[in-house]
Amino acid sequence: KQEVTQIPAALSVPEGENLVLNCSFTDSAIYNLQWFRQDPGKGLTSLLLIQSSQREQTSGRLNASLDKSSGRSTLYIAASQPGDSATYLCAVESGAQKLVFGQGTRLTINP
Amino acid sequence: DGGITQSPKYLFRKEGQNVTLSCEQNLNHDAMYWYRQDPGQGLRLIYYSQIVNDFQKGDIAEGYSVSREKKESFPLTVTSAQKNPTAFYLCASSESGRYRETQYFGPGTRLLVL
């Protein structure tokens, strides 16, 4: 059974720092991995989707990497801003219509 | 604007009562999904539908029911059989429900038990 873990559960950093969020999964047979952002009491916004054949994806200040063999993904946020404060969730697709989510990392960027 | 709408934003349920959460999308997507999110946890799949008049159970379908009579709509009923319904419910859609697609999420409905 696929399990997805995100560490740390919460992270607080000063504005302007670069930071890395971690996601690990137990079964390397995945189709893709997605990173989502969730603001308090809101739905999810897709940030990046990495197909299983890809190693990384970039969007603006965000860069996500995927290492299937080790069951790991990282989300790198450059030059963090207070507006980046949110919960970040990763999810792996390990079957059709089958997204398995991690518990999320609650990120706080301090001005 | 294309997107997914969920209503109501907050819903209160009394003991023994069935309640229905609405989800509508105008993205012309074939596939729709319902997830449940508990505090500090990731999302868990309740039901999904790839096409009108067809739907499949997810990981935690017990105590829930759905219908898919129209492509745009995928309502979720939380029945009295669901003993712990307090949670945040999220609806999502994707283009066809096949592999490797991005899912787009609605704003969610928070269900509370009186």
pLDDT in tens, A68-98: 999 999 999 999 999 999 999 999 998 766 7
CB distance B46 to B38 below 8 Å: no
pLDDT mean over B93-99? 85
Give residue A73's pLDDT: 98
A103 contacts in chain B (CB < 8 Å):
40-42
CB atoms < 10 A from the CB of A58, how many? Answer: 11
Measuring CA to CA, which residue among A91, A82, A85 is closest to residue A107? A85
Asked if the Cβ–Cβ distance from B107 to A9 is below 8 Å, we say no
Average pLDDT, chain B: 93
Size of interface A-B (CB pairs under 8 A): 62
Query: Looking at beta carbons, which pairs linking B48-53 to residues 24 or more positions away fall under 8 Å?
Result: B48/A97, B48/B97, B49/B74, B49/B97, B50/A97, B50/B96, B50/B97, B51/B97
pLDDT-derived band at B1 (thresholds 50, 70, 90) equals low
Q: How many angstroms separate the CA of residue B43 from the nearest CA in chain A?
A: 6
Q: What percent of chain B has pLDDT over 70?
A: 98
CB distance A30 to A87 below 8 Å: no
Quick: pLDDT tens for B45-65.
999 999 999 999 999 999 999
Out of A36, A93, A103, name the one closest to residue B100 (CB).
A93
| pLDDT < 50: residue spans in chain A | none
B48 contacts in chain A (CB < 8 Å):
97
CA-nearest residue of chain A to B39? A103
- Residues 6 or more apart whose CB falls under 8 angstroms from that of B19 comprise B11, B13, B77, B78, B111
- B61 interface with A at CB cutoff 8 Å: no
pLDDT-derived band at B110 (thresholds 50, 70, 90) equals very high
Amino acid of residue A89:
L
Task: Quote the CA–CA distance of B36 and B43 in Å, as a whole number.
Answer: 6
CA-nearest residue of chain A to B33? A97
Backbone angles phi, psi at A40, to 5 degrees: -55, 125
pLDDT mean over B61-83? 95
Give residue A97's pLDDT: 60
pLDDT-derived band at B114 (thresholds 50, 70, 90) equals confident
- A31 interface with B at CB cutoff 8 Å: yes
Give residue B41's pLDDT: 82
